Structure 1
C-alpha cells in the first residue's frame, strides 16, 4: 500500500505525510466492547467529513480551503504547472528556479529573508518535480505574526530577485550535487529508465538537468521561466488552517494579485508506447546491480486508477504479502526490497518495478520477475487476496489525512489533477467497489511486457549477459 499511496495521493510528489486525529472517537471502554467479535477488527475507520471551500480569485487562480481549528497554524501551498516537463531545451531550468526562490528580493537578501521568517516562527520552502513546482508557507495564525509573515511571503514568492551572485552560488551547488548524484548506480538507472521510456518527450530528462545545460544557463533564463509559468492563471492555491473563510479569501486575493500576468501552460503531449521491449545495461563498479523495469502506465485521470491501485498493491506494493516480495525476497533471497508502483501524472506516467540484487544473481532475478508478472496476468489474484488488500488500503487511508500538512498535499493534488470535489470522501468507497474482474482486466491492459524498458546498472558477470526477453 505505501508505494502506491505515496505516488498517487501525495505527489510527486506529489504529494504525502500526521498531526491532527481524523478517526471517529469512540473512547476506550466502547472500543474494548467492540472487540467481542473478530469481525469488528476489520471495521472501516470513519473519516471526518471535509468542508472543502472552492473559489477563483480576481486574478484567475483556483483556490481550495479547509478550516482546521485543532492547532493555531496555517499551511499554505501554491502549485504551479511549472515542473521539469516545461524545461524545453534547457534541462534543469525549473529545478534551478525552484532553488532560486527565496534567494532575495529587491530589498532583502536570502539571509535577511530567512532571519525574518525565523524571528516570526514561520517556515517557507520551494520545490519542483516533473509535473509541478511548489512554494509553501507554515505560520502561526496569531495576527501579530501571521499578517507580517504573509506580507513577507507574498513579496518573496511573487517578486523574487535573481541576482548574478546568488545564481552562481546556487548553480555551483547544483553542479556539485549532480556530479555526486550521477556517481550513484541508482541515479544512473533512473536517468536511463526515463530517457529510454520517454525518448524525446518532456518527461525524458532528469529534473536536475544535465551538466551542459546547467553550465550554459543564465539568470535571464530563470527570469523568463518565472514570468512565463509562475503566474495566476497557471497556479492552484491551497490553504488548511485555523482561519475563517473570509480571511482565506483575503489572503488568496492579495497573494495572487501580486503574481505576474500570464496564461495557463498548455497540455503536455503524451508519449507513445515503444515499438518493442528495450534492454539497457550500464557497466558500473558496484557490488549490486540496480534494476528498473516497466513501461507506460496511466494519466492521473484514467478511470482504471482504482482497479490498478488495488492490483498493484497485490502484485508488488503491499510489502511481504505481495507476489513479487514473496517470490524474489522471501523464497529466493535475491533482493532485500522489491516494489512495483504506478506514477500517474499529467501525461501518461510510468509503471515500474525496482530492486537491487547481487551482480551474479541479476539474470535469475529478472527471470523470476518476468515469471511472476506472467503468472499474475494469467491467473490474477484470488478473491481472498483482493478482499484483504481492499481492507488494508481502506483501513490505512485515514493516516494519509492525519495532519493539516497531509490534507494540504491531497488538496493540492486534487486541484492540480482536476479531481472531483468529493475525491477524499469517495476514495474508500471506490476502493471497496473494485472487483476481481476489474483488477484482472486493468492489469492486463496496462502492464505490457512487450513494450517494457529493462535497465540494469552494475557489473556484468559470466552469468549475466543481457536481460531475458519477456
Structure 2
C-alpha cells in the first residue's frame, strides 16, 4: 500500500513517541521531584589548573634595548614589533596630531632605498605586512610574514626604523585624512560621549584627552616628524618582540646584528601630573538628530599596581561585569530602561583609569535611567556583598582571564606591555592568587574607600527636547552645556563660505 506524505509523517511521529516512551518513560507527578531540590548544585567543578604561561626569552643588549623572543612552531609564520616609548601625551599641545601624522607618513613615505609605494608592491607579492603606528604613549613598527620571507621583511622593518624618508607628499595626504576625521568627529553620539566623558575626568587640556584640531595639524612639517624620530629612536627606549616559527639562537643573532649598533639615548621620562577627577555636576550636549541618550557617570579609577586592584576588580565584576551584574539586572532586566548598560572601575598601568557607568536609553527615560544608575553606585557602599556574588564574580574573572593569554602570541604581547611599564614579569601569574584571596570584607572595605557618588559627574548626549523629565531633577545643580563646535581656521571658514564678499 502506498502511503501519502501526511500518513507517512504521522507514522514517523508515532514511532518516535513510542521510542521516547521506551527510552525515557514519563515519570508520574507523584514520583517527580517536588521538594525544590536543585541537584545541579551538587556538580563538582574541578579546580582551575595553575597558570604558568611560557614566558618569552628576555635579552638585554649592551645599549639597553630589550628583546623578547617567543618561538611557536604551530604555523610557518613570524610576527614582530618594535615598540618605542613616547606618544601623543608627550607632544606639545600646539602640535597635537603630530603622532597620528607621524605614524601614517612614516610607512607610506618608505625609506631612503624604496618608496612607500614600492614597499606596498613588494610586500603584497609576498602576502606580508610592515606597518607603522602611533598612540597615546608609544610609536611602533610591526611586521608579519611567512617564515621563508622573514629575512627580507625584517630588513624592511629595520630600514624603516633607521632610514625613514618622510615624504612631503605623504605628509600632506596624512593631513588630509586627519582633517577629514576632525570635521566628522561630531557625527556619532556615542563617540562624542566617550570623548567628552574622558575630558571631564582628566580635564580638557590633559595630554590624555587633547584632540587634534585643524589649526594644530596644518603647521606640522616634515622637519617635525624627523625631529620626533631622532628624539625617540634610541636603543634603550625600544622593546623588540618576535614570535613564531624560528630558531631562537638564529633569531637572537639576527637581532643582535641589526640593533647592537643603535646608539643609546637619555632615559625616557615617566609621565607625571595630578589627577583630581571631574568637577561634580551635570553636563549635557544637545544632539537633536538622535532618539536615544548616551549617559555617562564618571569619576577617577585606579592603577594596576594598587594593592587594592584585585578587590576592586571583583567589586567591579559584581557591579557591572555582565548579564548577571547588579547594574544590568536592575537597569535593563528589572526596569527595561536601557538596551546597553555597562561600567568599569578602570585601572591603567601608569596613571589612574576611569570609573564609569554607561547606558544608552531612549530620550524620554534619560533622567530615570541616570537616577537608577546613581542608586546602584550608591548601593556599593550600603548594600552588603554576598558570598554567592563573590564566588560568581571570581569564577567569571578567572575563567575568562585565561582566554586573554591562551596563545604564545598573546603572552608575548602581554610580556612586552609589562616590560614597557616596568611591571614584574610574573604579574599575570599573580593575578589568579590576588583574585582568589579577595573576601567579602575586602569588597566592603574598598567600596567604602573608593566609591564616593559626591565626586562623580554626569554627561548626557542626546535630544534635550525629548527628555521629558529635565536633568535638573537629578539635584546636582544647573546643567552645564558643553560646546563641541569644531574650530575652523579663518581662511578655511572663508573658503567654505564661498570666499570674501560672497553671501
Q: Same fold (TM over 0.5)?
A: yes
In structure 2, relative to structure 1, the CA distance for the partners of 1:39 and 1:114 (3 Å cut) is farther
Q: Which residue of 2 aligns with 1:97?
A: 102
* Equivalent position of 2:63 in the other structure: 59
1:230 counterpart = 2:233: yes
* Candidates 306, 311, 315, aligned match of 1:311: 315
Whole-Å Cα distance in 2 between the matches of residues 284 and 256 of structure 1? 52
Shift of the alpha carbon at 1:88? 2.1
Q: Secondary structure at the match of 1:236?
A: strand
Q: Distance in 2 between matches of 1:357 and 1:224?
A: 47
1:232-274 deviation per Cα after TM superposition (whole angstroms, max 9, x unaligned): 2222222222323323323433444475753232111233314
Residue by residue over 1:105-162, the C-alpha shift from the partner in whole angstroms, topping out at 9 and shown as x without a partner, is 11222221122222233223333332333332222233xx111111111112332221
- Equivalents in 2 of 1:465, 1:49: separation in Å? 50
Could you tell me which of 69, 74, 81 is aligned with 2:78?
A: 74
Q: 1:452 to 1:420 in 2, by over 3 A?
A: same
Q: Secondary structure at the match of 2:328?
A: helix
Contact 2:56 2:412 (C-alpha < 8 Å) held by counterparts: no
2:208: which partner in 1? 203
Tell me the number of residue pairs that the alignment of Structure 1 and Structure 2 aligns. 430
Aligned positions of 1:384-399 closer than 5 A: 384-399=388-403
* Residues 50-105 of structure 1, C-alpha deviations (whole Å, 9 max, x = no match): 14321212331122222222222222222222222112212122222122231111
Match of 1:118 in 2: 124
Q: Closer, same or farther in 2 for the Cα pair 1:429/1:102, shift >3 Å?
A: same
Whether the 8 Å CA contact 2:55–2:411 is kept in 1: the answer is: no
**1:245 pairs with 2:251:** no
CA–CA distance in 2 between the matches of 1:260 and 1:194? 38
Partners of 2:172 and 2:263 in 1: CA distance:
25
Superposed displacement of residue 371, structure 1: 0.2
Q: Which has the higher contact order (CA 8 A, sep 6+)?
A: 1
Taking a change above 3 Å as real, the CA distance of residues 303 and 446 of structure 1, as seen in their structure-2 partners, is same
Are 2:367 and 1:363 aligned?
Answer: yes
Matches of 1:455 and 1:77, distance apart in 2: 38
Asked whether the equivalents of residues 319 and 327 of structure 2 are also in contact (C-alpha less than 8 Å), the reply is yes
User: How far off its partner does 1:287 sit?
Assistant: 1.4
Give the distance between the partners of 1:42 and 1:291, measured in 2 at CA.
Answer: 41
Q: Distance in 2 between matches of 1:380 and 1:231?
A: 53
Q: How does 1:1-150 map to 2 (within 5 A)?
A: 39-45=43-49, 47=51, 49-89=53-93, 90-103=95-108, 104-142=110-148, 145-150=149-154
SS of 1:107's equivalent in the other structure is: coil
Distance in 1, matches of 2:242 and 2:385, equals 40
CA distance in 1, matches of 2:174, 2:71: 37
What corresponds to 2:424 in structure 1?
420
d(CA) in 2 for partners of 1:381 and 1:111? 59
Partner Cα distance (2:156, 2:188) in 1: 39
Gaps of 5+ in 2: 1-39, 477-503
Taking structure 2 as the reference length, the TM-score comes to: 0.79
The separation in 2 between residues aligned to 1:350 and 1:467, in whole angstroms, is 25
* Pairwise CA RMSD: 2.4
Contact 1:201–1:269 at 8 Å: present in 2 too? no
1:286-311 Cα distance to aligned partner (Å, 9 max, x none): 21111222111112322222222221
Q: Does 1:463 align with 2:469?
A: yes
The alpha-carbon distance between structure 1 residues 281 and 54, as it changes in their structure 2 partners (threshold 3 A), is: same
2:413 is matched with 409
Residue 274 and residue 397 in structure 1: after superposition, are their counterparts in 2 closer, same or farther (change >3 A)?
closer
* Distance in structure 1 (CA, Å) of the matches to 2:261 and 2:168: 24
From the superposition, tell whether residues 228 and 353 of structure 1 become closer, same or farther in structure 2 (CA, over 3 Å): farther
Query: 8 Å contact 2:363–2:463 — kept in the other structure?
Result: yes
Change (3 A) 1:443 1:126: farther
Is 1:158–1:260's contact at 8 Å kept on the other side of the alignment?
A: no
Tell me, what secondary structure is at the counterpart of 1:328? Answer: helix
TM-aligned CA deviation for residue 425 of structure 1: 2.8
Cα drift, residue 373 of structure 1? 0.6
Task: Report how far residue 230 of structure 1 moved.
Answer: 3.4
- Could you tell me how far 1:47 is from its partner in structure 2? 4.2
Mapped to 2, the partners of 1:169 and 1:420 lie a distance apart of: 42
Unaligned runs of 5+ in 1: 1-35
